[in-house]
Amino acid sequence: MTEASLPVELIALTLILALVGGLAPIFSNIKENHDTMRRITGIASGILLASALLVVIPEGFELATGGHDEHGHDEHVDEDALAGSVALVILELEHGDINSSEAIEEIEELLGGHDEHDEESGDEHDEESSDSLSEGIEHVIEEVESGEINATTGIEEIEEIITSHAHEGEHGDEGERALESLIIGGAVLAGFVLMLVMEGSGVGHAVHEEHHEHEGEHGHEHVHHRAAPWVIVLGLSLHSAADGLAIGSAAAGSSEAVTMLVALAVLIHKVPAAFSLGVFSLHEREDRNDSIRDVVLFSIATPVMIVVSFFVLQDFDEQMIALAMLFSGGTSLYVATVDTLPD
């Protein structure tokens, strides 16, 4: 993993945009135009959904499925290549192009090239590969050269080793892929379910939808919520923290281009989300200072989480960073599809 630097500019930008978006309705009359707010809410929902499905989750999936390529996967590919080459030699023998002794010699030459490649790659997998395909074939060749078995018997044993390796590889790959898919899906589901449980517990996010007219009673509109204001603000701030988790984890383990894509997706929907929070808080709070405090809490959640996730995930492998991104993607999916879409 390349050395990454803390995205200070993104931290400052997320804080400024959230403060501006959240404080704007508190210090202006723009909140009275509910049609505009509904349009902004719809656009923000689409952007949030697109960022989760097209950026955060795909990047997390790529990291989760590619993080082990530098070590064990390379060795597995080398063994498969050797098996394929040996199988071609056996086909030559079956077609009568060469005899058993010549086949043994060709396979021995293939092993020589394979061993040279292993030496260049290092000895870090020596213990794990004690029963590797190459060593099994090499043992058979030694038996042929020592006269314990003839070349024909040696070829038969090598063919059995190749067949066994192919079956083990198929079952191992299937099991690994199944576990990998389960973990990836579980991370996205965990983020989604967390928001579902929070909403079921009264931590609602739907701060945009319930506009009811009471002009006969009050002469203006209110936004009504079942949960206490501080509970809903806490829920929105947790989602803001999930945005920071996505940016921080991407900055810690991904390329600069990917980090910018994730950050852009967060920044685009940050202002509408903060604006909606400001409108909600202004309706529910009697004191303007309380509304300002709500916006500040929401605004600092993303920058703080960027810093925390960046340093915490700095020494983690790519799979852990991927799971963090996938979890954040799950929270974004829930908010975009359940909470923020206007009626």
One digit per residue, the tens of pLDDT, for the chain of length 343 reads: 445 677 888 899 999 999 998 888 888 765 566 777 677 667 766 776 777 788 778 877 877 776 444 444 444 556 778 888 888 888 888 888 899 888 888 888 888 754 444 444 444 444 444 357 788 888 899 999 898 999 889 888 888 888 887 776 555 556 667 777 888 889 889 988 887 887 777 655 444 444 444 444 444 444 444 445 565 677 678 778 878 887 887 788 766 777 787 788 778 778 777 877 787 777 667 788 888 998 999 999 999 999 998 888 766 666 777 787 788 788 778 877 776 565 6
SS3 assignment, position 332:
helix
Residues 190 and 51 in one domain: yes
- Domain assignment present for residue 2? The answer is no
Give Cα separations from 330 to 229, 243, 324 (angstroms): 24, 11, 10
Residues with Cβ within 8 Å of residue 36, at least 6 apart in sequence: 30
What is the torsion angle, in degrees rounded to the nearest 10, for the CA atoms of residue 235, residue 237, residue 242 and residue 243?
A: 130
Residues 302 and 189 in one domain: yes
Residues 240 and 313 in one domain: yes
Could you give phi then psi for residue 212, rounded to 5 degrees? -120, 135
What angle, 0 to 180 degrees and rounded to 10, lies between the N-to-C axes of helices 151-200 and 57-66?
A: 150
Residues with Cβ within 8 Å of residue 76, at least 6 apart in sequence: 169
- Domain assignment present for residue 3? The answer is no
C-alpha distance across the termini of the chain, in Å = 45
Residues 202 and 64 in one domain: yes
Two structure tokens written together for 151: 């070349």
Report the number of distinct structural domains present in the chain: 2
Place of tokens 């281009």: 257
Residues 172 and 206 in one domain: no
- Domain assignment present for residue 214? The answer is yes
Summary count for the chain: helices (H), strands (E): 11, 2
Judge whether 277 and 225 are in contact, CB under 8 Å: no
What's the pLDDT at 229? Answer: 57
Residues 14 and 134 in one domain: no
Supply the range of the domain harboring residue 23: 8-68+183-339
Choosing from 123, 143, 176, the residue where a domain stops is 176
Choosing from 126, 154, 176, the residue where a domain stops is 176
Rg (CA), the chain: 30
